[in-house]
Amino acid sequence: MNDTKSTIKSYWDRRSSTFDLSPGHTLSSKKEEDAWKALFLDKIGPGDKRVLDVGVGTGFLSIMLAEIGYSVVGVDLSEEMIKNARKKMDARGLKVRLEVGDAEALPFEDASFDGVVNRAVLWTLPNPKKALAEWKRVLKPGGTLCFFLHGPHSHGLSHRLTKQFTNLIILARERRNPWKSLYDSVDLPMGGGVESSVVIDLLKKAGYAGVRSDPLKEIGQMKSKNMPWYYRISSQKSMQYCYSCRKS
């Protein structure tokens, strides 16, 4: 493991204990949960599907995917994230295979999965192009890639000032330093969000078919509505997108 990957792994190992304290990392309501599940059924389809969750974290997507009835495998570079995800799976009686793995060098054979999913992973990677090629490699022909990513964050003066106030509250309530982010430690091409057109172009160049970029408006509104007030006032106002495509 090179120095960059070691830094990324160490960051997420540290964040694992407080990760779920951030409201955006957990479900805000049963209605939101139903919306996520409906989205996956639409994108991946019903039935006995084998789905890979890349960057599983504490299990946000994998839990819902397993409850739908998919056969789920989750990988993450962080062993501590895997441990927390496993506790959640065990508490719910869900059978999900979890293992440590690199999103840019997956430990699976070619054409192993009907679907590959992830949320907010591409921005954490030093080589997004390599990751997209890997995700395509492990997909079966006709398999679906479905992932979620925010657009660029706001950098206006008003937002920066409000964000500083919010960070003070986060420091006290979530027991983490919000000023110390991953992309302050390593050079990440997509750190801080990325324009939808850039992601679409990368997917097409990687050889995916049927590339779509859909604003995640409904789920975003549900999350925002149920977030603590100090998150709402400093909302980045950046849209989250659902990217979906197929391995032709």
Q: Could you read off the pLDDT of 146-203 as tens digits, one per residue?
A: 999 988 765 555 556 666 667 677 677 776 776 566 666 788 999 878 899 999 999 9
Range of the domain at 57: 3-153+189-228+239-247
pLDDT at residue 164, rounded to an integer = 66
- Domain contains 161: no
d(CA 235, CA 179): 16
pLDDT at residue 49, rounded to an integer = 97
Do 184 and 210 contact (CB within 8 A), yes or no? no
- Domain contains 58: yes
pLDDT at residue 156, rounded to an integer = 57
- Domain contains 180: no
Average per-residue pLDDT in the chain? 89
What CA–CA distances, in Å, run from 93 to 12, 20, 86, 176? 25, 20, 10, 30
Q: Is 214 helix (H, G, I), strand (E, B) or coil?
A: strand
pLDDT at residue 232, rounded to an integer = 64
Assign residue 128 the CATH number of its domain.
3.40.50.150
pLDDT (mean) for 24-33: 91
d(CA 35, CA 47): 18
Do 85 and 59 contact (CB within 8 A), yes or no? yes
**Could you tell me where the beta strands, DSSP code E, fall in the chain?**
50-54, 71-76, 97-100, 113-119, 139-150, 208-215, 240-247
Task: Decide: pTM greater than 0.85.
Answer: yes
What total number of domains does the chain contain?
Answer: 1
pLDDT at residue 179, rounded to an integer = 56
- Domain contains 9: yes
Provide the terminal-to-terminal Cα distance of the chain, rounded to the nearest Å. Answer: 32
- Domain contains 166: no
Percent share of the chain, pLDDT over 90: 69
pLDDT(30) > 90: yes
pLDDT(237) > 70: no
In tens, the pLDDT along 110-120 reads 999 999 999 99
pLDDT(108) > 80: yes
pLDDT(43) > 70: yes
